[in-house]
């Protein structure tokens, strides 16, 4: 019996090629496979890990110890370093911005108030749960003068640069 090489699509989908005369066969899926195709879960879950009851959506994206990571823009002006991040759906009081030496850390949690059963989702791409992001600063800053604001879902952190090029002369005392 000759072996016929499968096409990339056949390998990828498990489908079989039909002959010109209508011959060939179609794959037949089990009920579980059909359910998996019709109701895909996030890639980090398997079919049996999600109970068939209403659960908070945040439990899908986050394990107990998994945090999301923010996307950020970091740029400089003449006098400051600016960090911007889209943080829609988070209240200012649910954000924590910490400056430690040459690093800024942003932490928070995006809460989903709605309880939705897993069988009711078509797509689930939004991240719900705790998140954090740390940024190593490229220059020295004056931490005491740093400011953070949240407007229209955009977090903006302004960090004044320390003037390290400025020469400070000190007087030498003699004893």
Q: Give DSSP secondary structure letters for 118-170.
A: GGG-S---S--EEEEEEEE-SS-B-GGG-EEEEETTEEEEEEEBP-TTS----
Q: How far is CA 61 from CA 24, 56, 89, 110, in A?
A: 41, 10, 16, 11
- The answer to pTM > 0.85 is no
Asked if 22 and 102 sit in the same domain, the reply is no
- What are the pLDDT digits (tens) for 123-133? 888 888 899 99
Q: Is residue 42 in some structural domain?
A: yes
* Number of compact structural domains in the chain: 2
Q: Is residue 108 in some structural domain?
A: yes
Residue 126 belongs to domain spanning: 68-160
- What are the pLDDT digits (tens) for 154-164? 999 999 998 77
Asked if 86 and 49 sit in the same domain, the reply is no
Q: Which residues of the chain have pLDDT under 70?
A: 1-65, 165-166
**What is the pLDDT, as a whole number, of residue 106?**
94
- What are the pLDDT digits (tens) for 60-72? 444 456 778 889 9
Q: Is residue 127 in some structural domain?
A: yes
Asked if 25 and 74 sit in the same domain, the reply is no
């Amino acid at each position: 019996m000759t072996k016929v090489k499968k096409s990339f699509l056949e390998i990828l989908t498990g489908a079989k090629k039909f002959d010109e005369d209508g011959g060939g066969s179609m794959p037949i899926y089990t009920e579980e496979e059909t359910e998996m195709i019709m109701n895909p879960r996030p890639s980090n879950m398997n079919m049996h890990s999600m109970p068939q009851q209403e659960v908070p959506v945040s439990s899908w994206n986050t394990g107990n110890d998994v945090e999301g990571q923010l996307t950020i823009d970091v740029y400089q002006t003449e006098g400051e370093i600016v960090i911007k991040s889209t943080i829609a759906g988070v209240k200012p009081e649910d954000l924590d911005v910490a400056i430690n030496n040459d690093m800024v850390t942003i932490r928070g949690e995006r809460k989903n108030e709605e309880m939705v059963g897993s069988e009711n989702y078509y797509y689930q791409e939004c991240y719900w749960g705790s998140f954090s992001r740390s940024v190593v600063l490229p220059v020295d800053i004056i931490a005491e003068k740093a400011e953070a604001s949240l407007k229209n879902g955009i977090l903006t952190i302004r960090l004044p640069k320390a003037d390290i090029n400025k020469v400070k002369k000190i007087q030498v005392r003699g004893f």
